[in-house]
Amino acid sequence: MPLPFRSRWAPLILLAAALGACSPVFNWREVPIADDGLVALLPCKPDHATRNLPLGGGSVSVAVDVTGCEAGGATFAVAHATAEDAAQAEAWMHAWRAATRSQLTGAAIAETQATLPRAAGSPAPVRLEAPQQGPGGPMPAHVLWFAQQRAGKMALYQATVLGRPTSAEAPGVFFEGLRLP
Protein backbone atom coordinates (compact mmCIF):
# COMPACT_ATOMS: atom_id res chain seq x y z
CA MET A 1 0.00 0.00 0.00
CA PRO A 2 1.57 3.37 -0.99
CA LEU A 3 2.43 5.88 1.69
CA PRO A 4 0.42 9.11 1.80
CA PHE A 5 2.05 12.06 -0.01
CA ARG A 6 3.09 13.79 3.23
CA SER A 7 4.70 10.67 4.64
CA ARG A 8 6.87 10.05 1.57
CA TRP A 9 8.19 13.60 1.30
CA ALA A 10 8.48 14.53 5.00
CA PRO A 11 12.06 13.21 5.46
CA LEU A 12 13.27 15.02 2.32
CA ILE A 13 11.59 18.27 3.35
CA LEU A 14 13.16 18.05 6.82
CA LEU A 15 16.59 17.33 5.32
CA ALA A 16 16.30 20.28 2.90
CA ALA A 17 15.26 22.59 5.73
CA ALA A 18 18.18 21.44 7.89
CA LEU A 19 20.68 21.91 5.07
CA GLY A 20 19.28 25.34 4.28
CA ALA A 21 19.76 26.40 7.89
CA CYS A 22 23.47 25.47 7.77
CA SER A 23 25.84 28.25 6.87
CA PRO A 24 29.36 27.24 5.82
CA VAL A 25 32.14 29.23 7.46
CA PHE A 26 33.88 29.70 4.13
CA ASN A 27 31.37 30.45 1.37
CA TRP A 28 33.85 31.10 -1.48
CA ARG A 29 32.75 33.42 -4.30
CA GLU A 30 34.43 35.23 -7.19
CA VAL A 31 34.54 38.99 -6.69
CA PRO A 32 35.73 41.57 -9.26
CA ILE A 33 38.23 44.04 -7.78
CA ALA A 34 38.03 47.66 -9.00
CA ASP A 35 37.53 48.05 -12.74
CA ASP A 36 40.90 46.63 -13.75
CA GLY A 37 39.79 43.04 -14.30
CA LEU A 38 41.32 41.32 -11.25
CA VAL A 39 39.04 38.64 -9.83
CA ALA A 40 39.53 37.47 -6.24
CA LEU A 41 38.09 34.43 -4.52
CA LEU A 42 36.69 35.63 -1.18
CA PRO A 43 35.20 33.38 1.53
CA CYS A 44 32.26 35.66 2.36
CA LYS A 45 30.17 38.56 1.09
CA PRO A 46 32.60 41.48 0.80
CA ASP A 47 32.38 45.04 1.99
CA HIS A 48 33.98 47.89 0.02
CA ALA A 49 35.76 50.97 1.33
CA THR A 50 38.23 53.61 0.23
CA ARG A 51 41.05 54.85 2.43
CA ASN A 52 43.85 57.29 1.87
CA LEU A 53 47.36 55.97 2.47
CA PRO A 54 50.55 58.04 2.52
CA LEU A 55 52.19 56.16 -0.35
CA GLY A 56 53.11 59.23 -2.40
CA GLY A 57 55.75 60.50 0.02
CA GLY A 58 55.50 63.57 2.19
CA SER A 59 51.94 64.75 2.68
CA VAL A 60 50.61 63.11 -0.49
CA SER A 61 47.94 60.50 0.18
CA VAL A 62 46.82 57.93 -2.36
CA ALA A 63 43.22 56.69 -2.58
CA VAL A 64 43.20 52.91 -2.06
CA ASP A 65 40.05 50.86 -2.68
CA VAL A 66 39.63 47.90 -0.33
CA THR A 67 37.34 44.90 -0.84
CA GLY A 68 37.21 42.34 1.93
CA CYS A 69 35.37 40.37 4.58
CA GLU A 70 35.81 38.35 7.76
CA ALA A 71 35.29 34.59 7.91
CA GLY A 72 36.49 31.81 10.15
CA GLY A 73 38.54 34.02 12.45
CA ALA A 74 40.43 35.95 9.77
CA THR A 75 40.09 38.99 7.54
CA PHE A 76 40.53 38.47 3.78
CA ALA A 77 41.04 41.64 1.74
CA VAL A 78 42.33 42.99 -1.55
CA ALA A 79 43.41 46.62 -1.78
CA HIS A 80 43.89 48.45 -5.09
CA ALA A 81 45.51 51.70 -6.20
CA THR A 82 46.46 53.07 -9.62
CA ALA A 83 49.86 54.61 -10.36
CA GLU A 84 50.58 56.75 -13.42
CA ASP A 85 53.69 54.83 -14.52
CA ALA A 86 56.18 52.10 -13.56
CA ALA A 87 58.45 54.47 -11.58
CA GLN A 88 55.57 55.73 -9.46
CA ALA A 89 54.31 52.16 -9.04
CA GLU A 90 57.72 51.01 -7.78
CA ALA A 91 57.91 53.89 -5.25
CA TRP A 92 54.34 53.34 -4.02
CA MET A 93 54.83 49.59 -3.70
CA HIS A 94 58.01 50.14 -1.66
CA ALA A 95 56.13 52.56 0.64
CA TRP A 96 53.17 50.18 0.93
CA ARG A 97 55.42 47.28 1.95
CA ALA A 98 57.27 49.46 4.48
CA ALA A 99 53.99 50.67 6.01
CA THR A 100 52.75 47.09 6.37
CA ARG A 101 56.02 45.92 7.96
CA SER A 102 55.87 48.81 10.45
CA GLN A 103 52.43 47.60 11.62
CA LEU A 104 53.89 44.16 12.37
CA THR A 105 56.49 45.34 14.88
CA GLY A 106 57.68 42.43 16.98
CA ALA A 107 56.73 39.78 14.42
CA ALA A 108 59.20 37.54 12.63
CA ILE A 109 58.71 38.68 9.05
CA ALA A 110 59.78 36.72 5.99
CA GLU A 111 59.55 38.35 2.56
CA THR A 112 60.09 36.34 -0.62
CA GLN A 113 59.67 36.87 -4.34
CA ALA A 114 56.34 35.56 -5.55
CA THR A 115 54.73 34.68 -8.84
CA LEU A 116 51.28 35.42 -10.15
CA PRO A 117 50.29 34.76 -13.78
CA ARG A 118 50.14 38.00 -15.83
CA ALA A 119 51.55 40.16 -13.01
CA ALA A 120 54.11 42.82 -13.95
CA GLY A 121 57.79 42.05 -13.47
CA SER A 122 58.39 45.53 -12.11
CA PRO A 123 57.39 46.09 -9.42
CA ALA A 124 57.87 42.36 -8.87
CA PRO A 125 55.33 40.37 -6.84
CA VAL A 126 56.40 39.94 -3.20
CA ARG A 127 54.99 37.68 -0.50
CA LEU A 128 55.16 38.46 3.24
CA GLU A 129 54.58 35.89 5.97
CA ALA A 130 54.39 36.95 9.62
CA PRO A 131 53.35 34.16 12.00
CA GLN A 132 52.07 35.10 15.45
CA GLN A 133 54.88 35.23 18.01
CA GLY A 134 53.11 34.04 21.14
CA PRO A 135 50.18 35.50 23.06
CA GLY A 136 49.79 39.26 22.84
CA GLY A 137 51.92 39.50 19.70
CA PRO A 138 50.70 40.81 16.36
CA MET A 139 48.11 38.65 14.60
CA PRO A 140 49.46 36.34 11.89
CA ALA A 141 49.58 38.00 8.48
CA HIS A 142 49.96 36.70 4.93
CA VAL A 143 50.36 39.42 2.30
CA LEU A 144 50.96 39.41 -1.46
CA TRP A 145 51.79 42.59 -3.38
CA PHE A 146 51.65 42.62 -7.18
CA ALA A 147 51.00 44.95 -10.09
CA GLN A 148 49.78 44.86 -13.67
CA GLN A 149 50.08 47.38 -16.47
CA ARG A 150 46.60 48.40 -17.63
CA ALA A 151 45.78 51.03 -20.25
CA GLY A 152 49.12 52.82 -19.84
CA LYS A 153 48.88 52.95 -16.04
CA MET A 154 49.94 50.53 -13.31
CA ALA A 155 47.31 48.79 -11.17
CA LEU A 156 48.78 47.96 -7.74
CA TYR A 157 47.33 45.34 -5.42
CA GLN A 158 47.80 44.09 -1.89
CA ALA A 159 46.06 40.80 -1.03
CA THR A 160 45.95 40.07 2.71
CA VAL A 161 44.87 37.39 5.14
CA LEU A 162 45.05 38.75 8.68
CA GLY A 163 44.45 36.41 11.60
CA ARG A 164 44.36 32.65 11.96
CA PRO A 165 41.53 31.15 9.89
CA THR A 166 39.78 28.09 11.27
CA SER A 167 40.80 26.26 8.07
CA ALA A 168 44.55 25.99 7.45
CA GLU A 169 43.81 25.76 3.70
CA ALA A 170 41.90 29.06 3.52
CA PRO A 171 44.92 31.36 2.86
CA GLY A 172 46.07 29.09 0.02
CA VAL A 173 42.61 29.04 -1.54
CA PHE A 174 42.43 32.84 -1.30
CA PHE A 175 45.85 33.50 -2.88
CA GLU A 176 45.44 30.82 -5.56
CA GLY A 177 42.06 32.35 -6.44
CA LEU A 178 43.57 35.69 -7.55
CA ARG A 179 43.23 35.99 -11.35
CA LEU A 180 44.51 38.84 -13.48
CA PRO A 181 43.06 39.34 -16.97
CATH at residue 118: 3.40.1000
Q: Flag whether 46 is in a domain.
A: yes
Which pLDDT score, from 0 to 100, does residue 24 have?
A: 83
Q: Flag whether 3 is in a domain.
A: no
What is the Cα–Cα distance from 126 to 146, expressed in whole angstroms?
Answer: 7
Write out the residue range of the structural domain in which residue 121 sits: 25-176
Tally the domains of the chain.
Answer: 1
Q: Flag whether 123 is in a domain.
A: yes
pTM summary value: 0.84
pLDDT band at 3 (very low <50, low <70, confident <90, very high): very low
pLDDT tens digits for range 57-93? 767 789 999 999 999 999 999 999 999 999 999 999 9
Q: Flag whether 6 is in a domain.
A: no
Nearest C-alpha neighbor of 174 from the set 88, 70, 98, 96: 70
Which pLDDT score, from 0 to 100, does residue 8 have?
A: 46
